[in-house]
Amino acid sequence: MKVLFCGDIVGRSGREAVTANVPRLRQELGLDFVVVNGENAAAGFGITAKICAELHNRGVDCITTGNHVWDQREIIPYIAQDKRLLRPVNFPPGTPGWGANLFETARGQKILVVNVMCRLFMEPLDDPFRTVDAELAKYVLGRSAHFILVDVHGEATSEKQSMGHHCDGRVSAVLGTHSHIPTADHWILPAGTAYQTDVGMCGDYDSVIGMKKDAAVQRFIRKVPGDRLSPAEGQGTLCAVLVESDDKTGLARSIRPVRIGGRLSPTE
């Protein structure tokens, strides 16, 4: 299988980078499935039903989120009805929505997407490692799920790396989100799982993690309340990774970064 995973979408520039490129990439690369993290898609804070529809219409199969999932309150009733939009699986019991879902591709293959949030420097949620274990216990890679993807949304690189090694050999890919900065450690772990600590963001990199830089910088310099942060509006970069797996085992055969447009050097 060929799966494209796009990092956190930040604002309009990030949405445009995704919607402009995903249809072409699906065709040119022969993609089987596309996942994006959309938790900052609505003006940098949360996501809306309208944005979900826009992304799905442009070829996105699944949208993951993170700590900003509830910033747009209208998403609460919507997420309870659409299993293509996930929230972290380790949110407390009774939270609306789903943290994992098994999808079927056009070729009839099954792909499990698990969205989990870390705890270091984040919210005190349920144990992400035990929660992921509980989800993985329901499936066998290469049999009941031909591809298993874990979006690990977290601040600490150590915690995300630990999740990668914890899942190695049991999933196809563990891909990090949240920091909005792409790391250079895309590789296949010893037991066959593709890994990257952070895929980066889809947005304007002439910014501070996607937000207009002047207001963001002043928050560090002055230490007094200032302008509300808002997304940078320059040309966005699509930051993603392409993972290709072995159809028999479900383990990764390759992982490649994909960067298109904007300020960063292209890799397509």
> Could you give the residue numbers annotated as active site?
68
* Max Cα-Cα span within the chain: 57
| Dihedral sign of CA atoms 101, 159, 206, 265 in order | negative
* Euclidean distance between CA atoms 178 and 70, whole angstroms: 15
Which residue, among 11, 6, 13, has the nearest Cα to 34 in the 3D structure? 6
Residue 145's alpha-carbon distances to 19, 46, 103, 164, 172, in angstroms, are 28, 30, 9, 18, 10
* Euclidean distance between CA atoms 139 and 151, whole angstroms: 17
Which uninterrupted H or E stretch holds 24? helix 11-29
* Euclidean distance between CA atoms 42 and 258, whole angstroms: 23
Non-local (6+) Cβ contacts of 22 within 8 A are: 4, 6, 34, 58, 59, 60
Q: Could you tell me if 47 and 78 are in contact, meaning their C-beta atoms sit under 8 angstroms apart?
A: no
* Euclidean distance between CA atoms 29 and 267, whole angstroms: 14
